[in-house]
Amino acid sequence: MPSEAISLASEQAFKAVVNDTSPKSKGKSYSVEITGSNYNHFLGKKIGDTVDGMFVGDGDKALSGYKLAITGGADITGRPMRSDLDGSGVKSVLITAGVGYKGKKYVKKNGKIYRYKYDGLRRRRNLRGNVVSQDTRQINLKVLEFGKRSLAEIIDGEAPISHPSGEEE
């Protein structure tokens, strides 16, 4: 039993979160596991690079025909990747509100806690660079070009929605 747990932990995998950009889906996102040779395809890619959908998913659940863009990600501790930091390592950065820092301060007044957003409020945060590496555990992807089948049909196995008249409801 312990040897099985070690072999499963050593297998590298990404969790890809694919954002469906079509107006019909209303911004729904889908979670897909990326393992094996597809895992190696993502190593060294940067935020903003485009990827073919056939590398996302396995077998009939692969997103063949889709073009996807890498929009971000996070490592195993939850540190976000930031597009303006080069490399794949962790860097300590002084930042204002944006990716990795919400830019608000909590103040206690009269027994209640209030949230304020001050102009120019900055904090030093440890953030991950813009290159996908072995430390990355989640990759955020957005659809640029759609394939023949819808994402809901491929990933969730839902039946395709057909409109006999050719018009939307």
Closest CA to 12 of 38, 31, 30: 38
Distance in angstroms (rounded) separating the CA atoms of residues 159 and 93: 47
* pLDDT(63) > 70: yes
pLDDT reported for residue 169: 43
- What is residue 1's predicted lDDT score, i.e. its pLDDT? 47
Between 42-51, 57-66, 90-99, 133-142, the lowest mean confidence (pLDDT) is in 57-66
The band of 2, judged by pLDDT with boundaries at 50, 70 and 90, is: low
Rounded CA-CA distance 8/23 in Å is: 38
pLDDT greater than 50 at residue 166: no
- Any residues with CB less than 8 A from the CB of 85 and at least 6 apart, and which? 91, 93, 127, 128, 129, 130
- 119-162 pLDDT per residue, tens: 888 889 999 999 998 888 999 999 888 888 778 777 776 655 54
